[in-house]
Structure 1
Amino acid sequence: MCEEQNKIVVATVVNHIIPHKGDQSLFWDKSNWQAVCKLHHDSTIQRQEKQNIVVGCDESGFPLNPDHHWNK
């Protein structure tokens, strides 16, 4: 199951909730692991990390990114 998307698909990638950036203790910390599908990891999660943005919306449909123009 892809934990991030709450979808029942094969989760073949371990995402680090807090990017480890080479920190071995953070890399191997199981509480920092999240099972996700490869598609989600290689698209949404990588985009969020590289652009330092939050992608998605809350249950009301408002963007999670505080810098989004709808939140201003």
Structure 2
Amino acid sequence: MAKRSLKPCRHPGCPELTRDGWCPKHRPAPRQNRRGASGAYHSWYSKAVWTQELRPAQLLREPFCRVCAAKGWRTPATVVDHVIPFRGDWDLFVSPANHQSLCKFHHDQKTAREQAESRGKGGQL
């Protein structure tokens, strides 16, 4: 297979020739996982215990959004939320006492608030 042709480094003003876009001096550092530490346990949501047992059971137990219900509205729940963010704690992840049914709007609102609080504390919760 033919090699790529040499081209100048992508860094402005760098004359170094390279085949992959960046010279060793200007090569960007690998990007961190966008999820940070949560990326390590985000895959738990695809496990059968979540998709086939816990999530469906919670939505059957509580078919309407808990926040909407408190306001007297009957909005179908589409998301099972962890009341206390589990942050890699398997027992909190699977505990039905830590699950609540929410509509997407209220889940997104709660998640944004938790992430903002986490950033405000330097990412430590």
**Interval of TM-score (by shorter of Structure 1 and Structure 2):** 0.5 to 0.7
Question: Which consecutive aligned stretches of 4+ in structure 1 deviate over 3 angstroms post-superposition?
Answer: none
RMSD: 1.6
Partner of 1:4: 67
> In the alignment, is residue 47 of structure 1 matched against residue 122 of structure 2?
no
Q: Tell me: higher relative CO, structure 1 or 2? Use CA pairs within 8 A at least 6 residues apart.
A: 1
TM-score using structure 2 length:
0.39
* Count of residue correspondences: 52
SS in structure 2 at match of 1:15: strand
**More helix per residue: 1 or 2?**
2
Q: Unmatched 5+ residue regions in structure 1?
A: 54-72
Distance in 1, Cα, partners of 2:110 & 2:78: 14
Distance in 2, Cα, partners of 1:28 & 1:46: 19
Q: Indicate the structure (1 or 2) with the bigger Cα radius of gyration.
A: 2
Distance in 2, Cα, partners of 1:5 & 1:52: 23
Identity of aligned residues (%): 38
